[in-house]
Amino acid sequence: MNSRPQTEPPLVAVMPYGDNGASSRVRIYGWLRHLGIASDVHSFLGAASSSFRELRADPHVLVRAQVDLHKLAREHHERLLLHREASPLSRGRLEAKLLSSSSYSVLDLDDALAWDVRPSSDPVSLFPKPTKIARAAAAADTIVVGSPSLLEWATTVAEEVSYIPSCVDMTDYPPKTSYELTRPPLLGWIGSPSTEVLLERISGDLLQLHRLSGARLRVISGPPRSLGPLDAMVDRIQWTTQTAHQYLAESDIAIAPMGDSAFLRGKCAYKILQYGASRLPIVGSPVGANADALALLGASTVDAGDSWTETVMDMINAPASERQRMGEISNQAVLAHYSYTAWQDEWKRVMHITDADLLAPPS
């Protein structure tokens, strides 16, 4: 938790993760950097996640984080932005108090927390996300969501709702320059350990693709874990801000499988946007926000029941010029529809940020 400044800057931002947490990095820190906004940032433990493993690491730090948040909630703020939740150890009253303490408050969501129901054996179930998000939504002046599914839900619980997708800083991604296939062909996937299960769901098709073409699957993610039979074709890369994007651009084809549930339909299409920023040809599941992004990016799609093997093999067998054409289309679409530059005016409007609040003109 950051110490409270004597004079409050234009925006107080509260979130569960630090800069290494993908959600906070994209939805909050990315905007603060892009626009150059002085802000009072409060991230619960400053960690990449708020898993119970992280929470148990240092009880003294955990208690201090809770105390600091309750102190923050007793103060008045001009503009407060809450991303997802303030604390994993809350049932929503703390979030509601924070949002109500401000002259103007915004709740930012990039996941369908209203449908994030855990089994009773999961410690998270002690602090139910649906209850928490309902209380926070009722207290916020406006809700900002990152997917069409979340937009549909938010309009049923709030009067003021805005859609702003998760955005990409195009300068972070070195673009792919050669579209001749590597030998063997290299598929790329980037994500987090919690979403690697989506790869396991199509393991049969991927293994058949491996047998037919020798294709390897590069998984850019967290600490190594077994993907079962897929281990025979997987090459793991530890995700870091310094290396992930370069490794991604080396892929021949990027894949984005997705399941279909209320929770998954609420997710943003950030994985696909990273592929487009890297000028990669893409194959993905047209579910939720992914469906819109795949269509705009001119990507190939695999519907439920269709074959990932056949669709990816078609792209492997296509000439390099076709893969290059797809990569260039995807890149231009991300720039036009999903970049910070494309959405900066709307984000400033929703957050009540004026040019006088900026440390420097936006890029």
Do you find a cis peptide bond into 286, omega within 30 degrees of 0?
A: no
pTM, whole model, 2 decimals? 0.91
Give the 3-state secondary structure of residue 216.
Answer: strand
Q: How many whole angstroms separate alpha carbon 342 and alpha carbon 340? A: 5
Segment 162-220, tens digit of pLDDT = 999 999 999 999 999 999 999 999 999 999 898 999 999 999 999 999 999 999 999 99
- Could you report the per-residue pLDDT of 351-362, keeping only the tens digit for each? 999 988 887 655
CB count, 10 Å around CB of 356?
6
Q: What pLDDT sits at residue 58?
A: 75
The SS3 call for residue 194 is helix
Taking Cα atoms as reference points, which of 57, 93, 91, 88 lies closest to residue 73? 93
d(CA 59, CA 55): 7
Tell me if residue 208 falls in helix, strand or coil.
helix
Residues with Cβ within 8 Å of residue 326, at least 6 apart in sequence: 281, 282, 298, 299, 300, 315
Residue 282 near residue 297 (C-beta atoms within 8 A)? yes
Question: Is pLDDT of 37 > 70?
Answer: yes
Mean pLDDT of 154-158: 96
DSSP 8-state code for residue 37:
B
Check residue 178 and give left, alpha or beta (phi > 0: left; psi -120 to 50: alpha).
Answer: beta
- Domains of the chain in start order, with CATH, are 11-167+340-357 (3.40.50.2000), 170-337 (3.40.50.2000)
Q: What are the C-alpha distances in Å from 234 to residues 83, 156, 187, 189, 237? A: 34, 43, 9, 10, 10
- pLDDT tens, position by position, 138-150: 999 999 999 999 9
Distance CA 168, CA 207 (A): 31
Q: What is the DSSP-derived secondary structure letter of residue 361?
A: -
Give 16's contacts (C-beta < 8 A, 6+ positions apart). Answer: 24, 43, 44, 50, 83, 84, 85, 86, 87, 88
Do 15 and 82 contact (CB within 8 A), yes or no?
Answer: yes
By percentage, how much of the chain surpasses pLDDT 70?
94
Six token digits for residue 50: 């708020």
Q: Could you tell me which residues come within 8 angstroms of residue 127 by beta carbon, excluding any fewer than 6 positions away?
A: 88, 89, 90, 91
Return the amino acid letter for 20.
N
Of the candidates 28, 16, 275, 269, which has an alpha carbon nearest to the alpha carbon of residue 147? 269
Instruction: State residue 301 phi and psi, 5-degree precision.
Output: -125, 155
Q: What is the pLDDT of residues 105-148, one digit of tens each?
A: 999 999 999 999 989 888 888 999 999 999 999 999 999 999 99
Question: Among residues 297, 350, 272, 294, which one has the least CA distance to residue 108?
Answer: 350
